[in-house]
Amino acid sequence: MYGVYVHVPWCRTRCPYCAFVIDTRRRPADESWRDRVLLDWERERSHFVGRPSTLSFGGGTPSRADPTALAAVARAVDATGEVSLEANPEDVNLEALREWRNLGVTRLSLGVQTFQPRIAPRLGRAHSSRQSLTALALTQAAGFASTSVDLIFGLSEQRPEDLAADLQVVLDHGVPHVALYGLSIEPGTRYEADKREPVDEDRWRALHDAAVETLEAGGLQRYEVSNFARTGHRSLHNEHYWRGRRWAGLGPGAHGWRPSGIRVANTTDVEAWLAGRQAEEEQPSPEALFFELVWSTLRHVDGVDVERVGAVTGISASVPVEYERAGLVRWRGGFLVLEPAGFVLVDGIATGIASASTKNRHGRGAV
């Protein structure tokens, strides 16, 4: 079982907090993008067996791309299951929704961030709060098998009641999946240049805890650090990453992990990628692979399959006892899972396990 991720770099402008691989040209180069993605797919498909189970158009802003170009890629990839697409509210209208459905999209993920008119302008987005509400109503009525809303928290201007109101909108509309991201100040962004700070740790924690409680009380279970879903509405594509499975990455800046264990990374230079620059291929070291597998699978409620990680990397996991004593992790069968208190500390816990375990290496295993 594997997935295919396709990166669509087009954005109207760069949001002041975003460091993703994007391109803000006035007219997206849809045909060149499509042809180049199809070449990436020709290269990658020979390394995988059978059809992928999921296809994910992420960005950048896939909703800014010509649906005909997206359709050509969807036809070529020919996934057996979920086809997801990230859409920004300003691109959502009845015709666009119909085109995305016709090309096979089953799951639409709406990049709202906030519905609050007081906060939205601070995020420098290309859409208003009103457009977000309209887009949400249209999306919910469009008949996708699943929908999701992305929200952000941790801006210094954001009061607890602002985030509570955002969550209420989502719950009132019956949205079955929410991705809730804590704002991080990324190198190279305008927020960093402006020396903006996210809220202090106590307020961050209060916003976070209240949001988790509201979403869970509303029937959306936390199944990954930042993701909440009703039964049957998890992101099946993202679960490939969080369960340590393989995937192909197509498009500028996209990464993949082949069944052979080779990691593939396309260049982040959109122009160079369009001009055909070759992807970099690398066999990761056992230590790097161990950290990545622990870091990515610990984030998910099903946790780390320690035996499998050992078989793949040749490194047996050593979990510092203080993590269990402090109530951050626990064992469930052969799986190491996070306790609620561990979710906010996942990066530190994964780093701690990796450093304790790589001291205890017992040789290499087959990948």
Ligand X SMILES: C[S@@+](CC[C@H](N)C(=O)[O-])C[C@H]1O[C@@H](n2cnc3c(N)ncnc32)[C@H](O)[C@@H]1O
Binding residues for ligand SF4, rule: CB under 6 A, are: 11, 14-15, 18, 20, 22, 59-61, 88, 111
Q: What are phi and psi of 138, to 5 degrees?
A: -65, -45
Q: List Cβ neighbours of 244 (8 Å cut-off, separation of 6 or more).
A: 293, 296, 297, 305, 308, 309, 312
Residue 365: how many CA atoms within 13 Å on its side-chain side? 16
Q: List Cβ neighbours of 316 (8 Å cut-off, separation of 6 or more).
A: 306, 310, 357, 360, 362
Total residues contacting ligand X (rule CB under 6 A)? 15
- Among 110, 89, 94, 178, residue whose Cα is nearest residue 142: 94
CB closer to ligand X, 57 vs 291: 57
Which region among 135-143, 180-188, 239-247, 322-330 touches ligand X (by CB under 6 A)? Answer: 180-188
Shortest distance, position 322 Cβ to ligand SF4, whole Å? 37
Q: Which residues of 325-346 are buried (b: 16+ CB within 10 A; e: fewer)?
A: eeebbeeeeebbbbeeebbbeb
Among 53, 54, 88, 129, binds ligand X (CB under 6 A): 88
Q: List Cβ neighbours of 101 (8 Å cut-off, separation of 6 or more).
A: 142, 143, 144
CB closer to ligand X, 154 vs 286: 154
Site for ligand X in 156-175 (CB under 6 A): none
CA separation, residue 291 to residues 188, 206, 304, 359 (Å): 26, 29, 11, 13
Site string for ligand X, 117-156 (x = CB under 6 A): ---------------------------------x-x----
Instruction: Say whether 248 sits in a helix, a strand or coil.
Output: strand
> Taking a C-beta distance cutoff of 8 angstroms, is the pair 80, 52 a contact?
yes
CB closer to ligand X, 111 vs 352: 111
CB closer to ligand X, 61 vs 238: 61
Shortest distance, position 153 Cβ to ligand X, whole Å? 9
CB under 5 to 8 A by kind: which of ligand X, ligand SF4, none does 245 bind? none
CB closer to ligand X, 127 vs 300: 127
Site for ligand X in 54-73 (CB under 6 A): 59, 61
Shortest distance, position 88 Cβ to ligand X, whole Å? 5
Chain centroid, CA 165 distance in Å: 24
Q: How far apart are CA 224 and CA 227, in angstroms?
A: 5
CB under 5 to 8 A by kind: which of ligand X, ligand SF4, none does 14 bind? ligand SF4
CB under 5 to 8 A by kind: which of ligand SF4, ligand X, none does 152 bind? ligand X
Site for ligand X in 89-108 (CB under 6 A): none
CB closer to ligand X, 238 vs 313: 238
Residues within the interface to ligand X (CB under 6 A): 17-18, 20, 59, 61, 86, 88, 111, 113, 150, 152, 181, 183-184, 186
